[in-house]
């Protein structure tokens, strides 16, 4: 992702403030100034890169029932924003274990 970062003017990253671990599964909602929802996604990883037309947008981020909302202004100059979300204990324990999640067969 870092290799293509220069192609985007809004670059978001998500992490846990206590140890800097990456956070994924953040819901992102982007609305323009007219109130039209332009985008809704759930992040697969700790980085989301957007290439937006110049203008103001209302950004909502949701993670584990914690909302963060703010206006952002997209311009030609890239904007890097880092958002901090506390991991719940089970996720933190899983990150420390550094083991693979077991794969279970799909029910038929």
Write down the CATH number for the domain with range 2-97. 2.60.40.10
Q: How many CA atoms lie within 13 A of 11 on its CB side?
A: 14
Cβ burial, residue 29 (10 Å; 0-12/13-18/19+): middle
pTM over 0.75: yes
The tens digit of pLDDT for each residue in 10-63 reads: 999 999 998 888 999 999 999 999 999 999 999 999 999 999 999 999 999 999
d(CA 85, CA 20): 10
């Amino acid at each position: 992702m870092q290799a293509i970062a220069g192609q985007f003017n809004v670059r978001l990253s998500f992490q846990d403030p206590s140890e800097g671990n990456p956070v994924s599964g953040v819901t992102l909602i982007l609305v323009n100034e007219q109130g039209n929802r332009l985008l809704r996604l759930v992040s697969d990883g700790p980085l989301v890169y957007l290439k937006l037309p110049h203008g103001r947008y209302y950004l909502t981020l949701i993670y584990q029932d914690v909302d963060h909302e703010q206006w952002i202004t997209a311009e030609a100059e890239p904007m890097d924003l880092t958002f901090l979300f506390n991991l719940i204990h089970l996720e933190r324990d899983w990150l420390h274990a550094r083991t693979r999640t077991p794969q279970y067969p799909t029910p038929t």
